[in-house]
Amino acid sequence: MASSRPTVGSSASNHSRRRPTQFSTVFVSTAIAVSLIIGFAAGTRGADILALIGAPFGVEVSTKTLDLSSLQETYRKLDARFDGELDANALIENANKGMVTATDDEYTQYFTESEAKQLRDDLSGNIGGGIGAEIGMRNSQPTVIRPLKDSPAAQAGLKAGDVVMAVNDTSMRGSTVDEVVQNIRGKIGTTVKLAVERDGEVKEVSITREEIVSPDVETEVVGKVGVITVSRFDRSTAQKVRAAADDFLRQDVEGVVLDLRGNGGGYLEAGIDVASVWLEDKIVVSERRGGQILDERKSAKNAVLGTMPTVVLLNAGSASASEIVAGALHDHGNATLVGEKTYGKGSVQELIPLSSGAELKVTIAKWYTPKGKNITKQGIAPDEKVELTKEDIEADRDPQRDRALELLK
């Protein structure tokens, strides 16, 4: 994986130069449970994910250096006086993490070798041992958005709206979605204990982890309307969406719903290629740094659904690549947006391999919709706001989807 550098957007780009793969995820406000099944997170890890680059491929390298004498002084005095054994690798890893955290950018992160592998697994849907629940931030607290049908979480009685207070007796107050998910995950067949707050009461529940498989694309036809649900943008997502579009046309559908709810993002190129199913040789997104346009990314020239009436479903868990697709389709007049305001992740990251096996995820630019809007912390507002309440979920109702289908009748 690290040895390949596909041309950005492949057929979806009109540029011939090669560039590193970029990613747009958050996994974010809704990291489809990483322990669970991602949606990667809050930045999926969330999601603008993975630009595998390095010096051999022409990546920019700074010639600046830091004076680390104070760090060495701290280490030597710590080593001389500390009553216990020091783990040198742990000290180095945490020093790296601390330096990167000091950028004060939530999407610029340092991943250890094992964390980087987990990030790639998240994006590909290889979640491993989890409980099958979607976790997101609600009122600044990690909350169960929904347990998946027939999942261990559902069978154990977890419900939408449950606030995760502790995992295996470790408090989750102030934790990110990623941190909660990482604590919930574990080996298949092992048990995890959750303390959740529901209606003012704290309940404890033990759940046996199972293998959780998260499909990136699911489709169905409802009457004369085709529904495509995209849970993340990985390398094969666009191919599956295009195949679904071709199948819809063979079935003579008269409208399409693109459901991006809870989709925290993924590969930027995948988002551009998905948009190309609707857009014909049009700007999907532009990348800017300091107000200067670095690049304009265009769709391919085979928009099989270019004239198809389309509704895109969104919510607070729709982030990054999801927002890029929704913004492009909306700005070009190819889709109506229904649901709730999106997360608001308007930056692009690259993941840079380091010699130690660790990886550095760095914010390199801001992205803008075709009409020049950056949605950082603002999100994309739907044309028609339709809320999905806790009561709706518990009653197995989906007024957002119902409204989308109604608009296409």
pLDDT tens-place string over residues 345-372: 999 888 899 999 999 999 999 999 999 9
Provide φ and ψ at 361, rounded to 5°. -100, 120
Other C-beta atoms lying within 10 Å of the C-beta of residue 77:
10
Check residue 220 and report its DSSP letter: E
pLDDT tens-place string over residues 125-163: 666 789 988 887 777 888 998 787 789 999 999 998 899
Q: What pLDDT was estimated at residue 119? A: 78
More confident residue, 57 or 167: 167
pTM of the model: 0.75
Check residue 7 and report its DSSP letter: P
Distance of CA 268 to the CA centre of its chain: 11
Cα atoms in the 13 Å half-sphere on the side-chain side of 20: 26
Question: Residue range 294-303: average pLDDT?
Answer: 94
Residue the block writes with tokens 């190819």: 334
Q: For the residues of 213-249, what is the DSSP string, one character each?
A: E--SEEEEEETTEEEEEE--B-TTHHHHHHHHHHHHH
Q: What pLDDT was estimated at residue 175? A: 87
Rounded distance, CA 232 to CA 31, Å? 10
Determine whether 45 is exposed, middle or buried from the number of CB atoms within 10 Å of its CB (0-12, 13-18, 19+).
buried
Provide φ and ψ at 10, rounded to 5°. 45, -120
Q: What pLDDT was estimated at residue 126? A: 63
pLDDT tens-place string over residues 183-226: 999 999 999 999 999 989 999 999 999 988 778 899 999 999 99
Instruction: Look at 111-120, 268-277, 286-295, 346-355 and tell me which has the smallest mean pLDDT.
Output: 111-120
Q: What pLDDT was estimated at residue 26? A: 42
Check residue 17 and report its DSSP letter: S
Considering Cα of 391, then 395, then 401, then 407, what sign does the dihedral take?
negative
More confident residue, 311 or 52: 311
- Residue 197: enclosing H or E segment and its boundaries? strand 191-198
Tokens of 199: 């209606």
Residues designated catalytic? 320, 331, 345
Tokens of 379: 């999100």
First CA to last CA across the chain, in angstroms? Answer: 44
What average pLDDT does the structure give for the chain? 84
Distance of CA 371 to the CA centre of its chain: 23
pLDDT tens-place string over residues 34-82: 333 332 322 333 333 333 323 333 456 788 999 999 999 999 999 999 9
Q: Using the predicted structure, report yes or no on whether residue 17 has a pLDDT greater than 90.
A: no
Rounded distance, CA 175 to CA 189, Å? 25
Residue the block writes with tokens 């009653």: 395
